Structure 1
Amino acid sequence: MSILPDSYLTYARRHAGPDHDYYPASPIVDRAPLTLPRAALLGLWVVVPLEFFPLNPTGQPFKTPGAMQTPYPDLRHYTTRDYGNRVGAYRLLKLFGKLGLRATFAVQGAVAERYPGLVRDVLADGHNICAHGWDTDSLHHSGLSVDQENSFITRTLDALHSVSGTRPDGWISPARAEGFATPARLAANSIRWFADWAHDDLPTTFQTQEGILAALPLSNELDDWQILINYTRPEQEWAIQVRDAADWLLDEAKRLNSPRLLTLTLRPFVSGLPYRIKLIEEGLSGVLRRSDVSVVGPDDLLNLLSL
C-alpha cells in the first residue's frame, strides 16, 4: 500500500506526446522530405562557442561545464579558457579556411566586450555569429525575474551589435540552460532561432506565448567537451564517432529519401589545442570529402521551415 498522497501521482501536463505545448509529437519518419543546399543528403553545421569564464563565478544555480574548479584565484583553469580566445580560436579559423568551411560562432556578450578584435576577425573570415548569453556565470533559469533575464538577453544583444553592426537573431544559452519562460523572452526580443534543445535531428517550429521560434538541432553527444572532457575519450575516438555518425545519417537519408543534419560543437580551448587540431581536421575532412555533404548555417536551416 502506497504511503504517498494521491496528488503525488497527478501530473497536469501528462498527455499524448511531449508534456508541453512548444511542439507536437512528430516522429521524424513521418515528415515530408526537405531540401538542403545543393540537394545534399547530409548537412554539416559546426558551432564554435566563444565564452568568457569569470575567475570568481557564483556558480548559481550551478557551475557551468568548464567553470573554475579550485579555490580563488583558479588561474590554471582561467588561463586555459583564456588560451581558447587568444590562440585556439585562431587555430580553428585557419583550419576552417583551409577546409572552406563556414561555421556559426556563438559569442557571449562579455567576449564581444573584452575581445572585439576576435569577433571582427570571425566576421571578416565569412563566418556568422549568434548570441551566447552574457558569460558562463550568467545562466538562464526559472529563478530569474523577468527584469533579470531580459537584462541578460538585451545586454548580450547590445554588446554584439556594438561590435558587429548587426543585432543577432539567433541564440544559444550559456550551458544551454533555460528557465520555463526563456523561449518566450527570446522571442519577445526578436530572436528567430535558438539551439538549446536537443530533441530532434532536424529543425522544428517552437511555439511560445510571444511567437514562433525555430529550434535548431545541436547535438550534445558530439560536443567536444562531452566526448573529450566529460567522457574522457581519446581524440581518435571523436574522429571515428563523427565518421560513424556521418555514415549512419547518410544511409538513413538515402533509405528515407529525406536529408539529415550532422551538428558539431568545437570549443577553442578544447579543440583548438595543438595536440587535438590534427584529429579535428581529420574528422571534419572525412565528412566534407563525401559528395552528398553540404555545409549549412542557420539561414539554410530556417529556410527548411520557411521562416
Structure 2
Amino acid sequence: MTPLQPTGPDYLKTPMRRHAAMDHDFYAWRDSLSARRLCWPDGIRLGVWLQIAVEWFPLNIGDKPFLPIGAPSRPFPDSQTYTQRDYGNRVGIFRMMDALKARGLSGSAFLNARVAQRYPILMREILAEKWEVVAAGLDAGAIHHEGLSEEEERGMIAEALAIFGDFGVKPDVWHSPSWSQSTRTPRLLKEAGFTAMADWANDEAPYRFDTSAGTIVSLPTAIELSDREMLGLRKQALDDVEASFMAAARRLAREAEDSGHGRLLTLNLSPWIMGQPYRIAAFERILDAIFSVDGTRAVSAPEIIAATDDL
C-alpha cells in the first residue's frame, strides 16, 4: 500500500521542522526564569504593560490561512458579530480610557492602522490621551502568513506605516493581527524601521531576535492573560478572570522580591469585551488591585526595553 502523502496548500508546510533543535534559528534558547532580566528604575519591582487592542474587523473578513481571532464567523453579512466589535470602538474604548485616566494610568494602543482611517475621532482621542501606539497591522483580518509573497507582505507593512504617518505617528513597535507571522515578517519589520515586535508569547521579558537585516527586539505579549482568551474563548467567569490577573501580579511581585530583579506583567484587553457596562467595574477593580501591589507601575515599550539588561 502506498503511504498517504500530505496534501493541502503550501502555507501548511513546515520546512524548518527538524529533530534535536528548535524549528528556527531566530534566537538561542535561554533559561529566562533564573537569569537576570529587568532592572526597573526608582525601586519598581513589577512593570505592568497594558495592551489595549483597538481593532477593525472587516465585515467581509477572510478565513485564509485561518479565521482571525474574534472575527465574524457566520455567513456574510455577520452583522451581529461585526457590530459587537464595532461597539468597542464607539463605546467600550472610552470607558476604558476614563478608567485609566481616573487612576493616572496610560495604556498602549495595539492599533490597526485602518482604525485611524475609519475612526479618526478615536485616533485623535488616543493621541490626546498620550497613549503609546503599537502598529497592529492594517486591520484584524490582515493576517501575515507564509502564503503571501514577500512584496505583498512588505506592502502591508508599508501601507500601515503610511496611514499612521498621515496622523504624524511613526510607531517603533509592531504587533501582527492575531499574533500572526510568516518566516519573513521579523526581517521585513526590521527593514521597515521597527525596533521591536510583540508577536511571540514565549517569554516575560524582551530578548534579541535575529534576522538577516539585523536584530529586532521581541517584546512579551499576552495570550494567556487576555480577555479574548479567557472570557471570549474559554468562557471563564468574570470573578475567575479577576482572580487570575491578581494571582499573576502577586506571584510576579514575589518573584521580583525573591530574585532581586524586576518582573513584567503583560495584559491584553479588548474594548468590545472589557468595555461592556457590566464588565467595566471589574476592569476598574483589576486596575486598583494590581497597582496596589507594592512596587508596581505601568510601563510602555520604550521603558521595558530600557530596563532590559541583555539586549
TM bracket (short chain): over 0.9
Q: Is the 8 A contact 2:225 2:245 kept in 1?
A: yes
2: distance between equivalents of 1:123 and 1:130?
Answer: 12
How much does 1:300 deviate?
0.6
Matched, 1:288 2:288: no
* CA RMSD in angstroms, aligned pairs only: 1.9
Superposed, 1:1-307 pairs within 5 Å as 13-15=18-20, 18-32=22-36, 34-163=38-167, 165-305=168-308
How much does 1:291 deviate?
2.2
**Secondary structure of the corresponding residue to residue 247 of structure 2:** helix
Extract structure 1 runs of 4+ deviating beyond 6 A.
none
The one-letter amino acid of 1:256's match is: S
TM-score by length of 2: 0.92
1: distance between equivalents of 2:188 and 2:50?
Answer: 26
In structure 2, the CA distance between the partners of 1:19 and 1:284, relative to structure 1 (3 Å rule), is: same
In structure 2, the CA distance between the partners of 1:126 and 1:11, relative to structure 1 (3 Å rule), is: closer
TM-score by length of 1: 0.93
Q: Is the 8 A contact 1:140 1:177 kept in 2?
A: yes
Q: Is the 8 A contact 1:13 1:20 kept in 2?
A: no
Name stretches of at least 5 consecutive residues in structure 1 with no aligned partner.
none
1: distance between equivalents of 2:226 and 2:158?
Answer: 27
The one-letter amino acid of 2:210's match is: Q
Q: Is the 8 A contact 2:56 2:139 kept in 1?
A: yes
**Secondary structure of the corresponding residue to residue 302 of structure 2:** helix
1: distance between equivalents of 2:232 and 2:153?
Answer: 30
Identity percentage over the alignment? Answer: 34
Name stretches of at least 5 consecutive residues in structure 2 with no aligned partner.
6-14
Q: Is the 8 A contact 1:224 1:271 kept in 2?
A: yes
Equivalent residues, number = 299
How much does 1:177 deviate?
0.7
2: distance between equivalents of 1:116 and 1:299?
Answer: 25
How much does 1:29 deviate?
3.8
The one-letter amino acid of 1:238's match is: V
